[in-house]
């Protein structure tokens, strides 16, 4: 939960007595929007698209699935938006703790403990269905935890140092990939050695340094992850999508962007100046991301290439700008209530999505399914959908929407009870 407290200064530069500021609804709405999007399971549209003859569903599905490797879809933006909002929350959270009289050492210990809890929780979620702990660190919570303490250390260090840190991270990460001797595509390329199908489209030239599994981060995981006890040696797990542990390094740049945005929003600038700064920053990031993607490295979300960090950073900054303008400046707040309900308990809905989707749907089928056979409801279904009744190809949409509604109702109940879960 984000606490919005003031860091204003008195005339002459002396620190003013801090007092609580009005809560920025746009920040909770932003987080709620992202979490609802994630929890929606794309409303089952990709599954419908596999069986539909309509051109609409495949077009919609293309934005509701992760890009296979190079590219950017709307679905790809969930994780960077989530990590960006973690950065935005840091200035609010630690300013509140400072107002409460906490020392720098105590706040640093809190940040370290939070980081460890996030990493352990990420490993716990990655171990579902395993016979022993599955030491994988690609879950978004683990990725946040691995970089969180470093980002917190940049709080109140100034925008130029923060920007320099983000650029240094991305430049250094680009260099180690470029330095790593990745094999070039050709007849001698050993697809099996990198866990790739024979028809996998390899990137040529400089971009070959960012091919799936055949890159520096893949090499690192082969050595790092096998240091932990495992059911079987780690070797490019099928279905892992190419995500790597070291993704947390460039994704720290995304969290730093959020940190910078959070400090901007808490500053004494006018609302118009804040909005203009967000829009301009997004433009610079978009231009830099596109240029980098066409020249020095491909835009790949799954290994968080520097070009991806820049391009996705533009989108998440612009999303914040849009919500800030609509909610805080124009004053349109009522529509955002369903988002705020979720945004104030984002960790709850995330864990429900990870742990309870299947169980929730099975309970709905058990308890609600028989009601659909009740004569009045059955007649209504046939009236709406015709003599053939409801087409089963749309059942994934029913499932995803129903489960999402249950999760939202749980968040709404927690909101009504003023129960907010934090880490």
For residue 295, give Cα distances in angstroms to 85, 102, 299. Answer: 29, 47, 10
The pLDDT of residue 51 is: 83
Helix residue ranges per DSSP H, 324-356? 337-343, 346-355
Quote the CA–CA distance of 151 and 361 in Å, as a whole number.
38
User: Is the CB of residue 154 less than 8 Å from the CB of residue 262?
Assistant: no
End-to-end CA separation in angstroms for the chain: 9
The pLDDT of residue 295 is: 96
**Cα–Cα–Cα angle for 122, 222, 246, nearest 5°?**
50
Quote the CA–CA distance of 25 and 32 in Å, as a whole number.
10
The pLDDT of residue 10 is: 34
For the residues 3-19, what does the mean pLDDT come to? 36
Helix (H, G, I), strand (E, B) or coil at 300: strand
Helix-strand-coil split of the chain, %, nearest 5: 65, 0, 35
- pLDDT exceeds 80 at position 379: no
Q: What is the DSSP letter of 129?
A: T
The pLDDT of residue 365 is: 85
| Residue whose token pair is 């610079």 | 284
| Residue of 265 and 238 predicted with greater confidence | 265
**Cα–Cα–Cα angle for 412, 416, 419, nearest 5°?**
90
Helix (H, G, I), strand (E, B) or coil at 15: strand
- Chain segment 116-153, per-residue pLDDT in tens: 999 999 999 999 888 899 999 999 999 999 999 999 99
- pLDDT exceeds 90 at position 373: no
**Cα–Cα–Cα angle for 419, 422, 423, nearest 5°?**
155
- Chain segment 57-93, per-residue pLDDT in tens: 889 999 999 999 999 999 999 999 999 999 999 999 9
What's the predicted TM-score (pTM) here? 0.91
Task: Name which of 281, 272, 310 is nearest 173 in CA terms.
Answer: 310
For the residues 106-121, what does the mean pLDDT come to? 96
- Chain segment 350-369, per-residue pLDDT in tens: 999 999 999 999 998 888 87
Q: Where are the domains of the chain?
A: 30-180+215-335
- pLDDT exceeds 80 at position 422: yes
- Chain segment 217-226, per-residue pLDDT in tens: 999 999 999 9
Q: What count of Cα atoms within 13 Å lies in the side-chain half-sphere of residue 328?
A: 21
């Amino acid at each position: 939960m984000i606490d919005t407290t003031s860091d204003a200064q008195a005339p002459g530069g002396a620190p003013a007595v801090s007092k609580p500021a009005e809560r920025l609804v746009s920040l909770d709405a932003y987080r709620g929007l992202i979490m609802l999007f994630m929890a929606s399971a794309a409303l089952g549209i990709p599954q419908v698209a596999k069986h539909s003859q309509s051109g609409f569903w495949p077009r919609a599905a293309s934005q509701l699935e992760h890009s296979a490797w190079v590219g950017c879809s709307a679905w790809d933006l969930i994780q960077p938006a989530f990590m960006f909002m973690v950065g935005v929350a840091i200035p609010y959270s630690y300013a509140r703790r400072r107002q409460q009289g906490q020392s720098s050492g105590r706040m640093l210990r809190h940040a370290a403990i939070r980081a460890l809890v996030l990493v352990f929780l990420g490993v716990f979620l990655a171990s579902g269905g395993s016979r022993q702990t599955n030491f994988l660190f690609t879950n978004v919570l683990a990725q946040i935890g691995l970089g969180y303490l470093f980002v917190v250390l940049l709080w109140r260090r100034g925008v130029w140092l923060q920007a320099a840190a983000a650029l240094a991270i991305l430049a250094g990460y680009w260099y180690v990939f470029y330095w790593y001797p990745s094999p070039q595509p050709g007849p001698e390329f050993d697809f099996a050695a990198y866990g790739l199908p024979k028809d996998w489209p390899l990137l040529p030239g400089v971009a070959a340094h960012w091919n799936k599994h055949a890159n520096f981060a893949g090499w690192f995981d082969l050595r790092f992850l096998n240091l932990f006890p495992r059911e079987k040696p780690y070797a490019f797990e099928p279905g892992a999508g190419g995500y790597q542990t070291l993704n947390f390094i460039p994704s720290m740049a995304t969290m730093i962007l959020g940190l910078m945005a959070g400090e901007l929003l808490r500053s004494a600038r006018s609302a118009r100046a804040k909005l203009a700064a967000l829009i301009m920053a997004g433009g610079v990031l978009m231009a830099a991301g596109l240029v980098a993607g066409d020249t020095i490295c491909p835009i790949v979300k799954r290994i968080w290439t520097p070009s991806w960090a820049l391009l996705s950073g533009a989108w998440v900054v612009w999303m914040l700008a849009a919500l800030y303008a609509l909610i805080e400046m124009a004053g349109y707040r009522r529509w955002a209530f369903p988002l705020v309900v979720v945004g104030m308990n984002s960790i709850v809905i995330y864990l429900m999505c990870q742990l309870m989707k299947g169980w929730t749907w099975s309970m709905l089928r058990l308890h609600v399914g028989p009601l659909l056979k009740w004569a009045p409801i059955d007649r209504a279904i046939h009236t709406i959908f015709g003599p053939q009744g409801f087409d089963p190809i749309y059942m994934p949409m029913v499932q995803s929407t129903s489960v999402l509604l249950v999760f939202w109702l749980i968040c709404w109940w927690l909101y009504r009870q003023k129960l907010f879960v934090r880490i």
